[in-house]
Amino acid sequence: MGTVVRLVSGAELLERAEGVRSVYAGAFAEPPWCEDPAEADGYVRRLPAELARPGFAAALALSGSDDRVVHGFATGWTTPDPFPEGRSYGPVAAVLGEDRTRRWLCGAVEIDELAVAAGARGQGLGAALLAAVASTAADGRCWLLTSVRADAFGFYLRRGWRQAVHPAPEGDGPALLLGPCHPAALMSEPAALMSEPAALTSEPAARNHPRSAPTSRNHPESTSG
């Protein structure tokens, strides 16, 4: 049987925590993230707290013959209002400004993590996982941050995500992407905020929170199609 991608409850996610840990460790050990395997243990330990976030959503790619086997996962949650200040949120808000930050991001679904096991790539699992979590955004507003150096960056663009800004003009931060159904993306608002491509290519590898990416890390946070 093939692989099944579906939204799961918090309890189902925790039941498969070891599988999530394994996928995470393999995906984010790769450039540009180059994470130590211990980071995967920390991620799994954080999961119970993440489940308590408003709007938390998770999707798993599970073996059709044994749904305890995890081939990929994605998570996200609702961005609070007022907009947070820690992690990578501050630079984003500084570039967007208060009005756009509230309209574009507050109350939207932010994709935190997206990863697919190396042996399961090329089957469309990354796209299906991303779509599953993004589908929880009732108004189409979803967003994520990722490094332009990650293979996942192109993965998102090919699926209609729009680059809105590069938070750090010095090339020292992640890029902000808006989902294909985000009202601001549909209205072409992001075009006015795009950085020059040449400036983006010099960005050093930077893993961020929120982060994303299917397994070519991505959030989500690298990919496999």
Query: pLDDT tens per residue, the chain (225 residues)?
Result: 799 999 999 999 999 999 999 999 999 998 878 899 899 999 999 999 999 999 999 999 999 999 999 999 999 999 999 999 887 888 889 888 999 999 999 999 999 999 999 999 999 999 999 999 999 999 999 999 988 877 888 999 999 999 987 655 555 557 899 999 999 988 765 544 444 332 323 332 233 333 443 333 434 333 434
Q: What are the boundaries of each domain within the chain?
A: 3-200
**What distance lies between CA 169 and its chain's CA centroid?**
22
pLDDT at position 167 is 53
Distance CA 10, CA 221 (A): 19
Q: What is the pTM of this model?
A: 0.83
* CATH fold for the domain made of 3-200: Aminopeptidase (3.40.630)
